[in-house]
A and B are shown apart, each in its own frame.
Chain A
Amino acid sequence: MASITLKRLTKRFANQTAVAEMDMEIENGKFVAILGPSGCGKTTTMNMIAGLESPTAGTISFNGKDVTAMPATQRGVGFVFQNYAIFTHMTVDQNLGFGLDVRNVPKPERDKKVTDMAAFMALEHRLYQKASGLSVNELQKLAIGRSAIVEPSIFLLDEPLSNLDAAFRERMRSELRLLQRRLKQTMVYVTHDQIEAMGLADKIAVMNLGVLQQYASPQDLYANPANTFVAKFIGAPSMNIISNEIICASGFGAKDLIGFRPENVFFGKPGVGDISFEAQVTFVEAVSGRKIVHLDFKGEEVLAVLGRHVSTTVGQKVTAVVSRTDCRSFDSTTGKAL
């Protein structure tokens, strides 16, 4: 088990900064997700923690010990690649045992560990088959098992669920959590899928353009986003953000940006202190039993999520209402939460 500390961690490639002065503390035994759109620097950060890339500036410490210059081979970090990087020329047994074999673990101990891990990952019936014959789902389990078998103190996962189909992804999400609880390792998980991050992590680091935007618990990110980027990125559909110049709500600065979540919008009579506006329904999507209603309000698109029993038709005029407590305000120039 280990904590990870990043201090002013920076990585510059030829003409661009992939990660800029990142400060982050990942506590021992926590499950942390690094979340952001593609190209935000999340994978680079992960690679630097693993030692696959060396930082341009800044330091990385495990348990307070500086490991910035330590080669990947010696860091003892478990790493699951997005495409799993399974050794397809080997059998499942050889893959699982790889980390033990290169450390010359005695045969009886090695075989026991491999058998145990295969059983845990439900791969025992495949043990002596070539890994190339496995299904995607089995490959994923094998990749996790292969890293877990050497009991690394830190476990890094690079979008491990993105190649799976939706149903299996949901199941693997719970399995990953169970695994983490059982192994009690520090886990760092890179993903672009906010639902995955919200569902799995104790804490989430949201990154954009190489800069850490906010590092907080899922509930905190959702309830109190630090800026408009986080507000838009967390939650689906995205938070509505409209200038107060258009919505003219009292109690906020005239030029502030007002943000409210589609699921907090309802149609009907506004209560005291609620913000309300007249809008027209332009489009309705029905997804998983909910209706995503697209509204046009003075040329701005506002989304509302309603229950499946609410009936709306395109062209209908409605009064959209949001409770004041559900609104957040942001500075119009910096985008920072006020």
Chain B
Amino acid sequence: MTEAPVQTELKRQQIKMANWFTVPSHVLLAFIVIFPLIMQVYISLTWWTPMDGEPWYNAYMSFSWFDNYIEIFRDADLWAAIWRTLLFVAICVPIEFALGLLLAMAFYEKVPLQNVLYSVILIPMMVVPAIAGYTFYLIFQQTGPLNILLSSVYPGAMEINWLNNVTRAFAAVVIADIWQWTPLMFLILYAGLMSVPDDQMKAAALLGASGWQRFTKIAFPRMKAVMTIAVALRLIECLKIFDPIFVMTKGGPGVATQSVSLYLYKQTFGDNNWSYVAAIGLAILILLSVIAGIILSRSAKSAAAQAKAA
């Protein structure tokens, strides 16, 4: 059967119209993504810093080819910071996920004073990260509230110096991050849990499934997509950790808590290696894009499978 001419005409008009509608988003995309990216690539191939007194577009005068990129592989401090950051992520994200999930389950089963508690739990997330860091900086002072509290059970507690010890400083930063970001995990996972059809949970209960079985057999399999998104969000954010460390330890003692972001900051404003930072930034961007790509394609697949199931 051939299509009637009226329809093809109508279709063509519609497609033409649709293309025009996408123009603004293309312009926006060019401005916020493509232009800065090109600029960064350009700078990373030079020795340019703003201290030279040359505008950025004249950076070609100190062209360095790939020296900045080669430097990345020689920079032991950078690699130490990368491994440290990864360790930090590997500790924080799973703990935040587990705590968030437990909280979400507790809320699903209804806890007393649910509404009040809900608001209270979300507060840390609203706090400006630098302020959160400052709060923990105060808490972990040698004469701070934590030690005062601890000294009631352990007499030597007032002697403990948290932020000047390599391990304890790291732990303090971990605790600060968990405090601040568990609520986000909770929020996302709770929303995911609430979107599991109520009837299915009830049906499982009536078939004799215990609370735990209802979660593991019905809720969690249906929450795969949400769980992936929650973890991905936190992974990306956590890899960029900066504010609390900057406020609490400045990366110290020594470089014991120095994250990649903090290292970049020091390179930029301390050592004026702008073009080197541009190179590192690009390298990280590429690395993260690959990781995010893998995660997102997997979660898209499972989301599609779930959509099909529904």
User: CB–CB under 8 A between A and B in the complex?
Assistant: yes
State which of B206, B209, B217 has its C-beta within 8 Å of the C-beta of A79.
B206
How many chain B residues touch A (CB < 8 A): the figure is 21
Which residues of A lie under 8 Å from residue B199 when comparing CB positions?
81, 83, 85
Asked if A72 and B209 sit within 8 Å, CB to CB, the answer is no
Q: Cα distance A261–B297 when bound, in Å? A: 65
Shortest A40–chain B CB gap in Å is 21
Report B189-233 CB contacts with A as 1/0, cut-off 8 Å. 000000001011011111111100100011001100000000000
How many chain A residues touch B (CB < 8 A): the figure is 30
Which residues of B lie under 8 Å from residue A70 when comparing CB positions?
none
Q: A102-B208, A103-B208 are in contact. Are A85 and B222 (CB under 8 A)?
A: no
Within 8 A of B (CB), among A71-99: 71-79, 81, 83, 85-90, 98-99
Q: Is A280 an interface residue (CB 8 A)?
A: no
Q: Is B161 an interface residue (CB 8 A)?
A: no
Q: Is A130 an interface residue (CB 8 A)?
A: yes
Apart from A52-B202, A99-B207: 19 A-B pairs, beta carbons within 8 A: A52-B205, A52-B206, A71-B205, A73-B205, A73-B208, A76-B208, A79-B206, A85-B200, A87-B218, A88-B309, A89-B306, A98-B207, A102-B207, A102-B209, A102-B213, A103-B208, A146-B203, A147-B206, A147-B207
Q: Is B110 an interface residue (CB 8 A)?
A: no
Which residues of A lie under 8 Å from residue B308 when comparing CB positions?
132
Asked if B222 and A89 sit within 8 Å, CB to CB, the answer is yes
Q: What is the chain B residue whose CB lies nearest that of A71?
A: B205
- Dominant SS among interface residues on chain B: helix
Asked if A50 and B306 sit within 8 Å, CB to CB, the answer is no
Asked if A79 and B203 sit within 8 Å, CB to CB, the answer is yes
Q: Is B4 an interface residue (CB 8 A)?
A: no
Asked if B205 and A89 sit within 8 Å, CB to CB, the answer is no
Q: Is A150 an interface residue (CB 8 A)?
A: yes
B residues touching A (Cβ–Cβ < 8 Å)? Answer: 197, 199-200, 202-210, 213, 217-218, 221-222, 306, 308-310
Q: List 12 A-B contacts (CB under 8 A).
A: A51-B206, A52-B205, A72-B206, A79-B203, A83-B199, A85-B203, A87-B203, A89-B222, A90-B221, A102-B213, A130-B309, A146-B203
Asked if B203 and A81 sit within 8 Å, CB to CB, the answer is yes
Shortest B65–chain A CB gap in Å is 54
Asked if B207 and A146 sit within 8 Å, CB to CB, the answer is yes
Q: Cα distance A77–B203 when bound, in Å? A: 10
Asked if A98 and B209 sit within 8 Å, CB to CB, the answer is yes
A residues touching B (Cβ–Cβ < 8 Å)? Answer: 50-52, 71-79, 81, 83, 85-90, 98-99, 101-103, 130, 132, 146-147, 150
Q: Cα distance A83–B221 when bound, in Å? A: 20
Q: Cα distance A52–B308 when bound, in Å? A: 29
Q: Cα distance A86–B208 when bound, in Å? A: 15
Q: Cα distance A90–B213 when bound, in Å? A: 14
Q: A85-B202, A87-B218, A98-B217 are in contact. Are A150 and B207 (CB under 8 A)?
A: yes
Q: What is the chain A residue whose CB lies nearest that of B310?
A: A88
Asked if B197 and A132 sit within 8 Å, CB to CB, the answer is no
Shortest A98–chain B CB gap in Å is 5
Q: Cα distance A90–B203 when bound, in Å? A: 14
Asked if A87 and B208 sit within 8 Å, CB to CB, the answer is no
Q: A81-B199, A85-B202 are in contact. Are A99 and B310 (CB under 8 A)?
A: no
> What are the 9 A-B residue pairs with the smallest beta carbon separation, nearest first?
A85-B199, A85-B203, A99-B207, A132-B309, A88-B309, A102-B209, A79-B206, A89-B221, A85-B200
